């Protein structure tokens, strides 16, 4: 049974921002996205900037409210619809699903010590509500040592650490509550290559030791294949291809997947034209409009007339390998 099931998830934003912005034209940031994450599984969402990866992740913890679709969390007490959770139930869900942000310099309060950063949330949660300061400090020191720092760092401020060390603090804050799912949003994208490897290996160690699941968001498909079990490739709010990491690395079928691989391997890319266009702006008539053509058709080297007139469905090519393409 999966730990988390996402079905036909949708989110749109107003195309214009500001007090005097017109309302009625929308950007479909997440458009009919479905996937599942199993127990102790690492699932990757990969794509270019602006494809909807982070929006999807924030919908899972309800930093944004979804416009449509379903997010179901399967706990020991049974499945629960995340959109229906309120108050204590929502707090318990967020204790089990933790989020590690991309930029630790912005997500860690510079006025707090590392100790306060780690325990300011947990001290009000059910597992630690009756714990004293000694126990909290002991737990914070233990988790900080687990991520490669020392207990002596508890009284320092985040600004006294390097970028890689700050990311370790963010990860420590995420695992202190002993979550079942850890969402890692581009946690290595801003780090040097050598530090990226250290953080990835740290996450692998945490996964093995704590037996938790991951949603790993990245724009580097090669990094995602190293860390993840299964990967979904997103483009303009849609899943274009989904497969096991090994299957995608050996035989990605969609032209967009091949384009992503070529950008990190140095191999000649498929003939893709232009730059990523802006997400589709929809007319105000239907509440959740959908494009009537392939989202990648404008850049695809294999596109035909049908691709511009009809939306390809996700179809299964092999067991566990799905693709959204007429020509593949």
User: If residue 205 lies in a helix (H) or strand (E), which one and from where to where?
Assistant: helix 193-210
- Across the chain, mean pLDDT equals 87
pLDDT at 121 over 90: no
Give the pLDDT of residue 282. Answer: 40
pLDDT at 186 over 60: yes
Confidence of residue 289 (pLDDT cuts 50, 70, 90): very low
Confidence of residue 285 (pLDDT cuts 50, 70, 90): very low
pLDDT at 235 over 80: yes
Give the pLDDT of residue 181. Answer: 97
Residue 36, in any domain of the structure: yes
Residue 122, in any domain of the structure: no
Whole-number Å distance between alpha carbons of 306 and 324: 13
pLDDT at 284 over 50: no
Q: How far is CA 234 from CA 79, 175, 229, 247, in A?
A: 26, 27, 16, 17
Residue 157, in any domain of the structure: no
Confidence of residue 268 (pLDDT cuts 50, 70, 90): low
Confidence of residue 283 (pLDDT cuts 50, 70, 90): very low
Full domain range(s) for residue 235: 2-109+179-323
Residue 162, in any domain of the structure: no
Spatial CB neighbours of 184, under 8 Å, sequence gap ≥ 6: 100, 203, 214, 215, 216, 217
Edge-to-edge strands, sheet with 42-46: 97-100, 181-185, 213-218, 42-46, 230-235, 238-244, 321-323, 315-318
CB count, 10 Å around CB of 264? 13
CATH of the domain at 232: 3.40.50.300
pLDDT at 287 over 50: no
Q: What is the pLDDT of residues 129-163, one digit of tens each?
A: 777 888 999 999 999 999 999 999 999 999 999 99
Whole-number Å distance between alpha carbons of 167 and 325: 38
User: If residue 105 lies in a helix (H) or strand (E), which one and from where to where?
Assistant: helix 104-107
Q: How many domains does the chain have?
A: 1
Q: Helix or strand or coil: residue 210?
A: helix
Residue 118, in any domain of the structure: no
Residue 142, in any domain of the structure: no
Q: What is the pLDDT of residues 62-100, one digit of tens each?
A: 999 999 999 999 987 788 999 999 998 999 999 999 999
Residue 152, in any domain of the structure: no
Residue 129, in any domain of the structure: no
Give the pLDDT of residue 126. Answer: 73
- The whole-number average pLDDT for the span 14-29 is 73
The DSSP output letter for 208 is: H
Of 91-95, 217-221, 222-226, 302-306, the least confident: 302-306
CB count, 10 Å around CB of 301? 13
């Amino acid at each position: 049974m999966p730990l988390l099931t996402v079905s036909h998830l949708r989110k749109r934003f107003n195309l214009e921002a500001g007090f005097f912005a017109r309302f009625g034209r929308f950007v479909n940031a997440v458009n009919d996205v479905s996937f599942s994450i199993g127990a102790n599984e690492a699932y990757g969402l990969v794509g270019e900037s602006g494809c909807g990866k982070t929006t999807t992740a924030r919908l899972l913890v309800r930093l944004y409210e979804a416009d449509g679709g379903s997010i179901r969390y399967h706990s020991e007490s049974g499945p629960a619809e995340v959109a229906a959770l309120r108050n204590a139930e929502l707090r318990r869900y967020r204790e089990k699903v933790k989020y590690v942000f991309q930029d630790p310099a912005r997500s860690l309060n510079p006025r707090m010590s590392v100790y306060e950063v780690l325990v300011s949330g947990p001290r009000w949660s059910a597992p630690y509500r009756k714990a004293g300061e000694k126990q909290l400090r002991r737990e914070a020191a233990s988790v900080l040592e687990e991520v490669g720092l020392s207990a002596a760092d508890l009284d320092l401020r985040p600004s006294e650490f390097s970028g890689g060390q700050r990311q370790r603090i963010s990860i420590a804050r995420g695992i202190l509550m002993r979550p079942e799912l850890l969402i890692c949003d581009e946690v290595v994208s801003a780090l040097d290559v050598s530090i990226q490897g250290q953080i990835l290996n740290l996450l692998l160690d945490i996964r093995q030791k704590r037996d938790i699941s991951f949603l790993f968001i990245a724009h580097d498909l090669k990094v995602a294949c190293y860390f993840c079990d299964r990967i979904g490739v997103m483009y303009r709010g849609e899943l274009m291809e989904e497969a096991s990491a090994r299957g995608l690395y050996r035989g990605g079928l969609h032209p967009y997947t091949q384009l992503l691989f070529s950008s990190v391997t140095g191999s000649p890319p498929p003939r893709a034209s232009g730059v990523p266009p802006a997400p589709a702006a929809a007319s105000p008539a239907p509440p959740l409009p959908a494009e009537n053509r392939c989202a990648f058709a404008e850049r695809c080297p294999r596109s035909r007339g049908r691709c511009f007139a009809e939306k390809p469905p996700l179809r299964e090519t092999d067991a566990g390998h799905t693709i959204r393409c007429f020509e593949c």
